[in-house]
């Protein structure tokens, strides 16, 4: 019997022998929105990892050959490289953990979300969205250790058609990113 401790991670509470695939599908359908939020947050961290990796590549390729004379620009590029490479790797790990619903991801995702909160605009939105996706009651249940058994019993969910407004917003965001970096 489980007590109602609000700080305890909710468990899926299932008997593997007694649960049918239909029951598992019903549980997954109840948590489909939380799964979508976690996957979206993971995709956004993947986008941040990609941008940071491209920044690293740009900084690395623009460093001139070390010929004895070092300019201030080379020092700045090295600092950008030193910050962007670990950020890219960390965001890649967060992206993987959130998109695959790994049970160990809540605390690393919380730390990553808190670190991007001070970045005004997109960073603040990404941080708040990630905190919501990870720490909502349904998000915590999706990230519970025993939820994997439910996902194994019902491996696929019916996907509703993608609304056109999401495609338009995504395209507008990509255009804004391209405009910002040009």
d(Cα 5, Cα 162) in Å, to the nearest integer?
37
Neighbours of 151 (CB within 10 A): 19
pTM of the model: 0.71
Taken in order 178, 180, 181, 182, the sign of the CA dihedral is positive
> pLDDT per residue over 86-107, tens digit each?
989 999 999 999 999 999 999 9
Neighbours of 43 (CB within 10 A): 13
Is a pLDDT exceeding 50 seen at residue 17?
A: yes
| Top-confidence residue, 119 or 64 | 119
> pLDDT per residue over 37-81, tens digit each?
999 999 999 998 998 888 888 777 766 555 455 666 677 777 777
* Residue 20 confidence class, pLDDT cut points 50, 70, 90: confident
d(Cα 9, Cα 6) in Å, to the nearest integer?
8
pLDDT computed for residue 28 by the predictor:
84
d(Cα 81, Cα 85) in Å, to the nearest integer?
6
pLDDT computed for residue 3 by the predictor:
62
């Amino acid at each position: 019997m489980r007590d109602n401790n609000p700080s305890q991670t909710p468990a899926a509470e299932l008997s593997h022998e007694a649960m049918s695939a239909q029951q598992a599908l019903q549980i997954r359908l109840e948590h489909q929105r939380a799964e979508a939020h976690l996957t979206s947050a993971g995709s956004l961290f993947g986008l941040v990892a990609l941008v940071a990796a491209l920044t690293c590549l740009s900084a690395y390729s623009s460093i001139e050959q070390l010929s004895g004379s070092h300019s201030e620009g080379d020092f700045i590029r090295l600092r950008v490289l030193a910050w962007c490479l670990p950020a890219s790797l960390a965001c890649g790990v967060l992206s993987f953990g959130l998109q695959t619903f790994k049970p160990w991801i809540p605390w690393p995702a919380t730390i990553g979300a808190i670190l991007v909160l001070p970045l005004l605009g997109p960073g603040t939105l990404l941080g708040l969205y990630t905190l919501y996706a990870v720490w909502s009651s349904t998000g915590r249940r999706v990230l519970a250790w025993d939820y994997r058994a439910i996902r194994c019993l019902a491996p696929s969910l019916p996907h509703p058609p993608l609304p056109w407004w999401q495609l338009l917003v995504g395209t507008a965001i990509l255009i804004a990113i391209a405009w910002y970096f040009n």
